[in-house]
Structure 1
Amino acid sequence: MSLPTESRDPLTHLERLIYRSKAASNLGHLHLFYLMSQTQVSNNQRGITGHLQYDQGVFIQYIEGPGEAIDVLWKRIQQDPRHTQLELIKREPFSDRRFRDWSMSFEVSPGFTKLPMSGFIPLEPESGQRLLSRCLA
């Protein structure tokens, strides 16, 4: 993946944002695949990288990139009818990407990873708490 030039500029103001939400309805395999595909293209164009976890109707997402791009994406997420009980966990400036090679990695229940769809990572027990701990460190 090649990030836009402004995202590689060391003077660019980078931010990271972590949120949790509940899905407004259950999402099936095709919906999640479409969401991941759409997100990867959009994030790559905006210089955003990160990780999205979906488990039993709960999203936890870590996004990182230029502050302006994070603003636009966060506003879009807040208006997205697929999310309820949206909770901003943390937003702050930072200097080194944690998910440099992922326009968006997607961690889901193991049943989703049995299909031949690249980008899905199998969810392991307690991984939601480990993701938050890793990203908040």
Structure 2
Amino acid sequence: MTNHIRAADETKGYEQPEKRLAMAIIINAISEAMGNGAVNERTSGGREKCRESALRWFVEADADFQAICDWADLDPNAVRSAALAHIQTGVRMPRRQAIDSQSNSKRRKDITIARIAAHAGVSATSVRNALDGRASHVMQARVQSAIKTMGKPANDR
């Protein structure tokens, strides 16, 4: 994992520890999906299970995947497409700027109250209440911090 963190450290724009960690998780998952994970092969088919699990993470793009991409400040659809193409072909992944430029037009509509909630670690109801001014100052600050990082949700009134 140290190499993945180093790779994330070398990625421009990842000065915040949370973004570096999220990027390291994505890089590690790509490595594992390609069968290069550091899992002990003797543990009940470890390497193959690890590879399948990592590949499924990109294919299904579940809430965990979405949250990690949000923390890395990357568009989940662009990360998914680029990662799957890289895993299938072995062609080098595009740099962060290329992923961002592929998805800048989509990014705004991908920001939802649910994603803001996941990023802030609160419920969607708490986000709605904070946006409507019906939450504590602490909750409003937490939600506003997430919105500052991710952008306003498209379905905001």
The alignment's TM-score, normalised by the length of structure 2, stands at: 0.23
The structure that is helix-richer by fraction is: 2
Q: Which has the higher contact order (CA 8 A, sep 6+)?
A: 1
The structure that is strand-richer by fraction is: 1
